[in-house]
Chain A
């Protein structure tokens, strides 16, 4: 795995500033976890009879980085939406941080951060305001929220944009703000739906580096969806390849590739298990 870091020195030190005091705080409030996430036969059929997810089961260990890889329309966003309590499953069960995503949705929400595929930001707010509100809604006091927003703005290299309206910022910058807002309460589980979609390579690399450090220093469990093979390779300890609402393969990137052939890529793995290339499925979608 490439671990080169484009994270600027100031951002790196801001991240350390965030992690130092926050680590103790978060770990104190965390519930002892074995598997951070458990899915058992989770399924979703929408009212128009579209079966988006058709019975998915997997487990994600605490502190693990787990990727849900698949083309557009495979059911990735629905799956992560169910785990993030946004979408109600029609069958099966799932637990996040030890809590049932349906019966104990409020408890789940206290323990997750969720960065949306479509950057979920208020265009009339500034990044700082948005982040402070997010922190306050998670129960942080005003001064705590302001201090943490300042640190996270530094971590995400957003300090210069802190007071600008989000409407005036680029799509990539909005996504970084969304990610920063998702981290305001230092959640033990972080869901990222296509976290670097639409970002330039430098921004993408910066986010990867930040996620690496958050995970290694804070023990954050990451679940991300992506259709970028490189992202799956770079960020994930394990990957589930999903196609037409079903998991067709699951394992470490290395094991998945080795099972196909010695020099295989994740693209080859996808082709092997589905009989189609990513490009085919994109055209079909």
Chain B
């Protein structure tokens, strides 16, 4: 059996495994939906500020909610990987003729699909709350793809590497709040123009997640900003070039 076929089998396994853990399933979607509703309600007045790009704050917040679903959400994949180490199942897989690349790609594919479904749920909630996607279904799909890929190359890689190094699900879970920082330090809740602190604006500008969030928001609120979309994918690719080989190297290190 070739590596792509093995990867598909393992992706299928990851997808079947996830809903069977109701706690993991619940906690990977519910907090995001609750945060979306709570923050949307709390900061609704922000949309009344002069120059704010939309009158519906839930619309502004929708791309943020997608990132909240995908970036911290992928941390659960690291938890599942650490659990495979703890149970000994990962080593069982290592004794099969499955390539390390297929092991990694299988989990990656499974998680991409899972995150895409979670992000879609968030977007559906936004639409139910009166938000409209300016670019329609194609734009919505593009937002989901960008959010999912950002999750994979940032916190997905961090949690997978931590899982392989520590082989401890609790350790992977412990760093999950860090994923929220990556999103909070963007224009997630307020447009950068309306933030007074120069330091914060600089941090936001330096945060790679900001350069993915911005074109996503454009897709939601106005249209296709191809320049911004290109920069977003370049940022994802740059992070991927660093993160994925490092993760592959750590996967191979499982053979002690």
Q: Which residues of B contact A139 (CB under 8 A)?
A: 1, 97
B89 at the interface (CB under 8 A from A): yes
Given A123-B87, A181-B92: A88 and B13 interface contact (C-beta under 8 Å): no
B91 touches A116 (CB 8 A): yes
A109 touches B92 (CB 8 A): no
Instruction: Kindly report which residue of chain A lies nearest to residue B20, judged by CB atoms.
Output: A124
A85 at the interface (CB under 8 A from B): yes
A85 touches B255 (CB 8 A): yes
Give the contacting residue for A137; candidates B1, B16, B83, B84; CB below 8 A. Answer: B1
Given A86-B256, A122-B87: A114 and B13 interface contact (C-beta under 8 Å): no
| Interface residues as binary, B1-43 with A (CB distance below 8 Å gives 1, 0 otherwise) | 1000010010001001100110000000000000000000000
B96 touches A85 (CB 8 A): no
| Interface residues as binary, A118-160 with B (CB distance below 8 Å gives 1, 0 otherwise) | 1111111100010001101111000000000000000000000
Q: Which residues of A contact B89 (CB under 8 A)?
A: 120-122
B190 at the interface (CB under 8 A from A): no
A178 at the interface (CB under 8 A from B): yes
B127 at the interface (CB under 8 A from A): no
A112 at the interface (CB under 8 A from B): yes
Instruction: Kindly report which residue of chain A lies nearest to residue B95, judged by CB atoms.
Output: A114
B93 at the interface (CB under 8 A from A): yes
Q: Which residues of A contact B250 (CB under 8 A)?
A: none
Interface size on A, residues (CB 8 A): 32
Interface majority SS on B: helix, strand, loop or mixed?
A: helix
A138 touches B95 (CB 8 A): no
A87 touches B256 (CB 8 A): yes
Cα distance A163–B93 when bound, in Å?
21
Cα distance A137–B13 when bound, in Å?
12
Within 8 A of A (CB), among B223-256: 255-256
A88 touches B256 (CB 8 A): yes
B94 at the interface (CB under 8 A from A): yes
A120 touches B256 (CB 8 A): no
Q: From residue A185, how far is it (CB to closest CB) to chain B in Å?
A: 9
| Interface residues as binary, B64-84 with A (CB distance below 8 Å gives 1, 0 otherwise) | 000000000000000000011
A87 touches B6 (CB 8 A): no
B interface, how many residues as a size bin?
20 to 34
Q: Which residues of B contact A258 (CB under 8 A)?
A: none
Q: Which residues of B contact A110 (CB under 8 A)?
A: 97
B13 touches A133 (CB 8 A): yes
Q: From residue A114, how far is it (CB to closest CB) to chain B in Å?
A: 4
Q: From residue B2, how far is it (CB to closest CB) to chain A in Å?
A: 10
Within 8 A of B (CB), among A100-120: 106, 109-110, 112-114, 116, 118-120
A137 touches B9 (CB 8 A): yes
Cα distance A110–B93 when bound, in Å?
12
Instruction: Kindly report which residue of chain B lies nearest to residue A120, judged by CB atoms.
Output: B92
B173 at the interface (CB under 8 A from A): no
Q: Which residues of A contact B96 (CB under 8 A)?
A: 109, 134, 137-138
- Could you tell me which A residues sit within 8 Å of B by CB distance? 46, 81, 84-88, 106, 109-110, 112-114, 116, 118-125, 129, 133-134, 136-139, 165, 178, 181
A122-B17, A129-B16 known; 13 new pairs, CB 8 Å cut-off, are A86-B94, A86-B255, A87-B255, A87-B256, A114-B92, A120-B89, A121-B87, A121-B88, A124-B17, A133-B9, A165-B20, A178-B92, A181-B92
- Could you tell me which B residues sit within 8 Å of A by CB distance? 1, 6, 9, 13, 16-17, 20-21, 83-84, 87-99, 255-256
**Sample of 10 A–B contacts (CB below 8 Å):** A86-B256, A88-B256, A106-B99, A121-B87, A122-B13, A124-B17, A134-B96, A137-B1, A137-B96, A138-B96
Q: Which 3 A-B pairs have the closest CB atoms?
A: A120-B92, A120-B88, A114-B95
